[in-house]
Amino acid sequence: MGKALLIDYLRGELAISNSAIAIALRHGEQDAGEQDASQLPMILWQYGLVTLEQLNLIFDWLQTQPT
């Protein structure tokens, strides 16, 4: 599952702003070098950019995606 699909989901279904996604991507890259898509939801939650409910929706969506 690619990062672009996850970002499209975050923007389209959960209405997460581009700036929130950019912040999470930037922090993820600082913390781990190159970030993969699986880290993005936790970083969004860690920085208070998504709620716990949204985080659960993201994980549910990720489970439905082909690997």
| Single-letter code of the amino acid located at 52 | L
| Residue 56 CB partners (closer than 8 Å, separation 6+) | none
Residue recorded with tokens 């959960």: 14
- Classify residue 65 by its DSSP letter: S
pLDDT at 38: 77
pLDDT at 31: 60
pLDDT at 3: 87
In degrees, rounded to 5, the angle at the alpha carbon of residue 17 between the alpha carbons of residues 11 and 20 is 115
pLDDT at 30: 65
**Cβ atoms 58, 9 nearer than 8 A:** yes
C-alpha radius of gyration, the chain, whole number: 11
Domains contained in the chain, number? 1
User: Over the stretch 6-58, which tens digit does the pLDDT of each residue have?
Assistant: 999 999 999 999 999 999 998 877 665 555 677 899 999 999 999 999 999 99
Range(s) of the domain holding residue 45: 3-64
